[in-house]
Structure 1
């Protein structure tokens, strides 16, 4: 048994049985060890950003980490943007990065890099294996860190640690994962007092377990008893939404809308979420989104027993009856004519199947979908969390692998989709049930909006060429076909509705892409 064998066994005995990979020479012993263990599902990504996004999407749905396999510093660097998103989502990921053999590093071979420094900003936990016998303990520590913190745990695996023999060939043992940390009593007491004092001017900002059906039900009882309003962050790691689940108000991305959304809040209780702030600094606009003088109180943090804390808080506030939620009127009638944001959103909400998983990297398009889906059958909704675009294709693949039998619907902005378009190939190779809707406005529309936010309303030739994708226009159907994905382009609202209905009713036929050419 060598170090790579011990790494594989430690991963498997701890339930980490999927590895998203783009390996290189330094990782060949790990690849060989994976090959000897058919219990590990190995999924190839053609670009490391697909690999790390897939690990993020997988873990958000599976509730446990996948492993990644990246090749030295440059491979890690290619995957860092989506590790940033996973870190912001507090997604458990065991991120394995190969390196040169330790004795080869002084020779400064072409791929030699300071992997530790590259990994540190995007990791919650970081460790370099010091030899073959350190691989097992280091892997166990990485899994524990990923699951209990939770977040990205990066394990650097030098080639000689992977190929070296392990002195103790005993079987790997599963790590003992501790229960989530209890929330201190003083935080619960402070939150209860603040909500009582503020009444309907109190807000509860929910994230993580607070946005699952059970946490939402408990928060809904608190809202029914006190008048407090329920909020979700601008970017939601995962929410269980739809009919029968307590709805929340998602804080808007645009700063003026976000300020208006929170204008009547005197105290905001944070349940697994940080205090909301502006996504960027803007001239003459505030950094905090809460009104001046409003307080933000932490009830629970990620890694703590969020559901238990909400239950105790509900009891402390005398919350009993569930929140009465008005059932939205069913959407009727297919939109006709131009393919607009409103038409797209309406059809998506009308046709969403029960149990679907929505991956939202739509950015400027289909923003009404979140609220319209409150009247759709129960589903899960996952968003881009860190703002580093290019998450969608890989995250959709990961979510589909974690949830066989469930339809994945990826809402994809065209500009950001091009960052990791190779993810379509992974979807095709794994025959995943993913429907990707590309919002083809042929522009970085979010940049156009941000230019206007800083007071620039007239775009010259240089600015236009940096924000338009129309010269030449990208042919998404041809791209999809080239990666082995069936696709269709549509230009009218009624055409989009018909093709989406067809795509959602395909079962067992692999991924499908719709290019929605916007008016």
Structure 2
């Protein structure tokens, strides 16, 4: 077998059914081999950031890795932003990067670069295959690293390794089950039983139905307050599943939310820090006077804690009233109300709405069961690619992507892939003609005069974009709306019709987060 055959044979045997690609000359043997194997679907993307973001969205919803195929160091560079988000989401992902033939690199060809250094910034595991004899064991180890490390495993594949004969498939080691420190869980149980002023802060794998039920049992038995991380990678919500308030983004609000607790228990999450540094404000959001207890990333640890403290299940909450349908001019709050009123059961909601989406969590809390994917790493351009991958992972579920106008311009090529693959994705562009989040940051970083702020706001004006025309140019039907009734009508239509749709919701800016 040649190296390309070994790679694709191993990926297929491991259940990696999708490879999101933007290949070049060095990857042609891999592309050709993929085309002969129906077990692996080659999903072409017109930009590497779409490929990596789609693999992130797929991995979050499928619970197993997809692969990417990128062209040399520059191709990896184009995909780094969404690999960063995947790393922060702990998404399993096998990132294949082609490179020059081993003997060709010595001549310093124009596209040569230090791939290892770039990949190391976003990967839990990086390796370069040096010969065809090693490719089988290398791809097997990459798969294990992606699954056990819950992150990006990058394998660099020189072109001569791919075209050379002499490779063989290596067995893939078994993946050990998640473990946790039972003694630490038992110590935490004693704290929650005996101490007042406790907070249980959850995130990561805990943000599913069973983990959230366990958290609620603990809270009801002990009086412990519940709080969730700001941007969970995947949050199962609605349909009576316990809904948790999330840590707010503004640093002063976050500090206030975490202040006054004697003990904070972190389950599936780490102690949070501020997104940015601000003059005179701390980086760590947890007070030095608070005692911190960390249960690790395993949801099983929290479920064990619930059994120690409050054995027995609690039923899900009963159905609650959904928001009423708004009327009149379209606002961010009206968009949220319509979404909460019409969100279908089983939807996957991908959120990159930035300031304009701040009403969405509350408005959808009482909607039917759905999943929510957040912008985990803060690197914008994640929304439309992640929705693309989520739709491939869950073809029988509607995917709804809320994305801000500025963010949408980072990866609009996603719409071409959605049209090509006939994916059931409804994209809602929240168009307020502004980088509104920067308006809030201007006020946080220092003292400015009104004249300074007026000049700065000219810089963040991004009016003049026509998203309906952009979508049409990539094969997606779209509509522009500026009333609540208009948005509700188009939202219903998009949910009822198969395939991708785009709705440009024209709204005024809201107060910055």
Scaled by the length of structure 1, what TM-score is found? 0.94
What SS does the corresponding residue of 2:295 show, helix, strand or coil? strand
Q: Is residue 495 of structure 2 the alignment partner of residue 469 of structure 1?
A: no
CA deviation profile, 1:44-86 (whole Å, cap 9, x unmatched): 1100000000000000000000000000000000000000000
1:357 to 1:457, Cα distance in 2 relative to 1, 3 A: farther
The corresponding residue for 2:493 is 502
What SS does the corresponding residue of 2:195 show, helix, strand or coil? helix
Q: Is residue 342 of structure 2 the alignment partner of residue 379 of structure 1?
A: no
Q: Is residue 403 of structure 2 the alignment partner of residue 412 of structure 1?
A: yes
Q: Is the Cα–Cα contact under 8 Å of residues 222 and 319 in structure 1 kept in the other structure?
A: no
User: What is the distance in 1 between the residues matched to 2:122 and 2:246?
Assistant: 26
The corresponding residue for 1:275 is 271
User: What is the distance in 2 between the residues matched to 1:457 and 1:227?
Assistant: 46
Q: Superposed, which structure 2 residues align to 1:80-229 within 5 Å?
A: 80-168=80-168, 173-180=171-178, 182-199=179-196, 201-229=197-225
What SS does the corresponding residue of 1:388 show, helix, strand or coil? coil
Residue in structure 1 matching 2:314, options 311, 319, 322: 322
What SS does the corresponding residue of 1:153 show, helix, strand or coil? strand
Q: Is residue 249 of structure 2 the alignment partner of residue 253 of structure 1?
A: yes
List alignment gaps of at least 5 residues for structure 1. none
What SS does the corresponding residue of 2:283 show, helix, strand or coil? coil
The corresponding residue for 2:478 is 487
User: What is the distance in 2 between the residues matched to 1:365 and 1:92?
Assistant: 30
Q: CA RMSD in A?
A: 1.6
User: What is the distance in 1 between the residues matched to 2:172 and 2:92?
Assistant: 17
Number of aligned residue pairs: 506
**Shift >4 Å, 4+ stretches:** 323-327, 459-462
1:274 CA drift (Å): 1.0
Q: Is residue 300 of structure 2 the alignment partner of residue 308 of structure 1?
A: yes
CA deviation profile, 1:13-64 (whole Å, cap 9, x unmatched): 0111100000000001111111121221110110000000000000000000
User: What is the distance in 1 between the residues matched to 2:405 and 2:258?
Assistant: 31
Residue in structure 2 matching 1:391, options 362, 379, 382: 382
The corresponding residue for 1:266 is 262
User: What is the distance in 1 between the residues matched to 2:328 and 2:369?
Assistant: 29
User: What is the distance in 1 between the residues matched to 2:438 and 2:136?
Assistant: 46
1:122 to 1:4, Cα distance in 2 relative to 1, 3 A: same
User: What is the distance in 1 between the residues matched to 2:195 and 2:492?
Assistant: 46
Per mean C-alpha deviation after superposition, the further-off stretch among 188-197 and 490-499 is 188-197
The corresponding residue for 1:74 is 74
Q: Is the Cα–Cα contact under 8 Å of residues 217 and 310 in structure 2 kept in the other structure?
A: no
Q: Is residue 26 of structure 2 the alignment partner of residue 23 of structure 1?
A: no
Per mean C-alpha deviation after superposition, the further-off stretch among 244-253 and 71-80 is 244-253
1:258 CA drift (Å): 1.7
What SS does the corresponding residue of 2:334 show, helix, strand or coil? helix
Q: Is the Cα–Cα contact under 8 Å of residues 246 and 323 in structure 1 kept in the other structure?
A: no
Q: Is the Cα–Cα contact under 8 Å of residues 211 and 239 in structure 1 kept in the other structure?
A: yes
Q: Is the Cα–Cα contact under 8 Å of residues 268 and 299 in structure 2 kept in the other structure?
A: no
What SS does the corresponding residue of 2:67 show, helix, strand or coil? strand
Q: Is residue 332 of structure 2 the alignment partner of residue 357 of structure 1?
A: no
Q: Is the Cα–Cα contact under 8 Å of residues 203 and 228 in structure 2 kept in the other structure?
A: yes
User: What is the distance in 1 between the residues matched to 2:195 and 2:288?
Assistant: 15
Scaled by the length of structure 2, what TM-score is found? 0.95
What SS does the corresponding residue of 1:364 show, helix, strand or coil? helix
Q: Is the Cα–Cα contact under 8 Å of residues 269 and 298 in structure 1 kept in the other structure?
A: yes
What SS does the corresponding residue of 1:68 show, helix, strand or coil? strand
List alignment gaps of at least 5 residues for structure 2. 509-513
1:174 CA drift (Å): 4.2
Q: Is the Cα–Cα contact under 8 Å of residues 223 and 323 in structure 1 kept in the other structure?
A: no
Q: Superposed, which structure 2 residues align to 1:424-443 within 5 Å?
A: 424-443=415-434
1:254 CA drift (Å): 1.5
